[in-house]
Chains A and B, each alone.
Chain A
Amino acid sequence: MITAVGLTKRYGPKVAVDDLSFEVRPGVVTGFLGPNGAGKSTTMRLMLDLDRGGGETRFDGRRYRDVPRPMREIGAVLEAKAFHPTRSARNHLLMLAAANGIGPARVDEVLALVGLSDVAGGRPKGFSLGMSQRLGLACALLGDPHTLVLDEPANGLDPHGIQWLRDVLKSLAAQGRTVFVSSHLLAEMAQMADELVVIGRGRLIDSGPVSDFVGRFTRTTVLVRSPEASRLADLLADDGATVDSLSDGSLVVGGADAASVGELAASYGVVLHQLVTRTASLEEAFLSATGAAEEYRGVSTHGSAA
């Protein structure tokens, strides 16, 4: 069980994490979701006493720095490539194991678990991001901890690797462990996590089961193409629907289903070339939830994919 209360981090006048409080329960995978720059990594660094800031985080009632030999209770990885380029993966793990009274047999065990046994003796200089992520996970699992805190562990993994990571995290959670994993990709989280903590601009936006979040922020729309688009748009607006015109002339209609749009068009004799129901993807749900809080808003170009 992780309890974070009032986490706050300022860089000069800029507030990176703003009075953030949440809980992470054991037995499930909890995703920590937010767009890039939302403060996920900073939050994790605060939780683990790496950054100095306000608020406190308790792991089963204790702060990180008060846990003796913390790797035996909390496994954490924040940077994938946090290793010396010429110290072998095995030696890197032996070094960390020595710091927490963990035997060398466990080092070989976790290397096998993450699939790095074959390269354990070589220099990690040439490791791909995916291999680095596996080494990071090996560090986190070294002390057989009951709590895992992982920052973007799927970053750089191929689809096969993500599937593998998902299975590993799910099985760890099923053993009753607390698993807290960050990502900026909702689709990835939807596959991996059971619960979500969603932040934007350092503030809590939502927390709860993944399905609730997806349901709440997913909106079904209807895409319509018509040679009389502007007339149809007026008719739909009069009918109480919301209408957005795309650059190619097609309309995106909210608040009405395909049947009612079709019937409305028929009753006024408007010709339709296309009528498609669109369910917003998870990414769109995520963007709509965090849109107001997005840190780096780029110039948006409206897509017209049906």
Chain B
Amino acid sequence: MSDALAFEAVRVRTIRSTYWLVGLALLLGALVAVALALATRDEPVDAALVAVGVTGGSQFSPLPFAAVLVGILGVFATGHEFRHGTVQPSLLALPRRSALVAAKLVVVALVGAGAAVAGLVLNWVVTVVSRGAVVSLPDGEILLGYLVFVVLWGWLGAALALLFRNIPGALVVLLVVPLVVEPLISALSLVPALDWLSDVVPYLPFSAGTSLVTVVDVGEATEAAGGTAALGRWEGGLVFAGAVGAVLAASWVLFERRDA
């Protein structure tokens, strides 16, 4: 396992995509934080708004920047092996396939968590600078939820590319499901004839996952508008983690059994 980790550590450091994905995640998150801080500069400090900025607006985007970019990092972690045929030298060096997969997950988690922490700190700093006043960091629960959220996206990306053995397929699922499929199901649940869908909506994986980065409770407003209230932070997180775990388990078993 330590050999596999050493391998993965070199792998992730020696491709440029690692740097531009993490860099872009930091930049885009910081832009959201700056925009929000400047827009509310003259208003009294609102802890929830500060939290929205520090988490890069993740709660309100179907494709939260840091999560999506770390998701793509995950896609590349496994997908490049198939895209460039490196799965052969990789497995010749590390014939125990599970060790390779485990090492990839560890490295994606470390890089993802590192990017998340760096993003939180950066967003807080730019918020302070933009407002010209020190604001307190959001609750520990919010910060931890954000960290878990970003890492789960990374693992999902890695699992999807390992399952499809293909980068475009994994990217399509990673982007189209949260952006198109889940909003569509949510919208259809508002049609009276399809109102049974509203029981399903809270359990849609990406929507449920977003509860991990909830900073403003919009449950009442959603219910008032005829929608379904989202799950709680950790309940929703569990649903998302369950979905990620299911894809990961399937891809892992298949990777063990299939021809490389």
Contacts and interface: CB of A to CB of B under 8 A. Distances in A.
Interface of A: 45, 48-52, 64-65, 67, 69-71, 76-79, 81-88, 91-92, 94-96, 98-101, 139
Interface of B: 3-4, 6-7, 9-11, 14-16, 80, 84-86, 88-96, 257-260
B86 A84 contact: yes
Contact of A65 (B14, B16, B96): B96
A65 B100 CA distance: 13
Contact of B86 (A71, A76, A82, A94): A82
Contacts of A86: 15-16
Contacts, number: 80
Given A50-B260, A51-B260, A79-B88, A84 B15 contact: yes
Contact of A101 (B3, B80, B89, B257): B3
B119 to A, nearest CB: 25
Nearest to A88: B14
B84 A96 contact: no
A110 to B, nearest CB: 14
B86 A50 contact: no
Given A65-B95, A99-B4, A82 B14 contact: no
Nearest to B91: A50
B80 A99 contact: no
A69 B11 CA distance: 18
Given A81-B85, A82-B84, A99 B7 contact: yes
B70 to A, nearest CB: 20
Nearest to A74: B92
19 contacts: A45-B259, A50-B88, A50-B91, A50-B259, A50-B260, A65-B95, A81-B85, A82-B84, A82-B85, A82-B88, A84-B15, A84-B86, A88-B14, A91-B10, A94-B10, A95-B7, A95-B10, A96-B93, A98-B7
B85 A70 contact: no
B258 A52 contact: yes
Nearest to B258: A52
A45 B259 CA distance: 9
A52 B257 contact: yes
